[in-house]
Amino acid sequence: MGLSDTLAARFDVESHGSDVRTELVAGLTTFLAMSYIIVVNPAILSEAIQIEGYGQGEVFQMIAIATILSAAVGTVVMALYANRPFGLAPGLGLNAFFAYTVVLGLGISWQTALAAVFVEGVLFMLLTAVGAREYVIRLFPEPVKKSVGAGIGLFLLFIGLQELQIVVPDDSTLVTLGGIFGNPWAILGVLGLVLTFVLWARNVTGAIVLGIVTTSLAGWGLTLAGFFDRGTITPESLPAAQYDITPLAGAFVDGLSGIDPLTFVLVVFTFFFVDFFDTAGTLIGVSQFGDFLDEDGDLPDMDRPLMADAVGTTAGAMLGTSTVTTYIESSTGVEEGGRTGLTALVVALLFVASLVVIPVVAAIPAYASFTALIVVGVMMLQGLVEVDWSDPAWAVSAGLTVTVMPFAYSIADGLAAGIVAYPIIKLAVGEADEVALGQYVIAALLVVYYVLSTRGVIL
């Protein structure tokens, strides 16, 4: 029996209506569609993670390695345990919450933030193991679950617009359109963004990766030619390749000491909530493309892919990166015909293979990598079509969830606004009996937390 036959038998490819070649192509397609995270995750997390004695390029490389390894671990579990064609990696939005809200916003150390991700991953595994997914899902208002992805998308969109200097601070209106045409870096970033949108609109596989690479090559060329300031990292100024992530891996252990219990619980809660429902929503959404859902609209044996997500998150925290989640880009591989875990296995192997280009990854300029935030942010807005805007409770809850996130620069605040608003509006329209007791409890706890927070009792 050859390798092809062995793989076909191991993943039961034929009974899923596929073949080995199709699965291989699907895996490559998914990897190209989601591999931008190798650049974007370090670009975001390196703003919050500072390691004494190591330069920016070295820390960037460490985070990139942690990103690759955690993606490989989670996706291998998805392949071998769940036998589903879904790729996993540190999630956009979750890494923004980690960097901008928890570390830079609340002033919590990055080691403690990793500890929160680790605890969230362990809780996720325990709840998944005992089959508590359905119970946990019922505790959160439906409009929040339907709109959280779009809220995160707007948050990412706002961050990307700021990083490219398309939107800048303003004393009168807080934000305004930036003077991008007076900044050569901003001009190049906008041109890269336009290219990425064009490629994406034309359904080009790996559009985001192609946009990042093309923009980076253009920037490097202009820099070496003397048109741009040479202070930016270029391939010629790369730090020596190094694969030692010891200062990053295991740092979560140090983060478990000297924590504020209430703040830590809130951070763990938010990581858990966003990860849990983002993963569940992604699994259902991607499964629609592959016709994996049963007659009730559920994914059979859903606890298995959820467990892969939980294992990936726990491993990621141990390695030194934010929450790992299932990627909506997996739909590209499913559309190419991927139907089994063999597709996921190919994705995992390609992530491992990408370790050889880590030094080059460190030279990707911010004006290139942050175009991905804007493109993915726009993609994530599609979730708003599932919101029932004619229902007052849905409209208020979803509306606040989506808008408070970018305006308050906090995913946690957006979630809290939506969760608290839902029972209030239900009470106002005489539908209090439709709100579960757990929803009232969580809303009340959030109100207490924010009252104490604004009075300076807690962070």
Q: pLDDT per residue over 276-307, tens digit each?
A: 767 776 777 677 667 787 776 677 888 899 99
| pLDDT of 133 | 65
234, pLDDT greater than 60? no
Q: pLDDT per residue over 48-98, tens digit each?
A: 999 988 888 889 889 999 999 999 999 999 999 999 999 999 998 789 889
1, pLDDT greater than 80? no
Return phi, psi of residue 175, to 5°.
-135, 155
How far apart, in Å, are the Cα atoms of 54 and each of 49, 60, 318, 319? 11, 10, 20, 17
Q: pLDDT per residue over 132-146, tens digit each?
A: 766 665 677 888 878
Hey, where are the domains in the chain? 11-168+243-358, 387-458
* Least confident among 77-86, 100-109, 149-158, 266-275: 266-275
Span 387-401, mean pLDDT? Answer: 95
151, pLDDT greater than 90? no
| pLDDT of 277 | 67
Residue found under tokens 């229902």: 391
Beta bridge partners of 88: 326
Percent of the chain with pLDDT over 90: 37
Span 110-133, mean pLDDT? Answer: 90
Cβ contacts of residue 335 below 8 Å, gap of 6+? 289
Return d(Cα 132, Cα 136) in angstroms, integer.
6
326, pLDDT greater than 80? yes
Cβ contacts of residue 113 below 8 Å, gap of 6+? 48, 98, 102, 103, 255, 267, 322
* Least confident among 139-148, 168-177, 184-193, 289-298: 289-298
362, pLDDT greater than 80? no
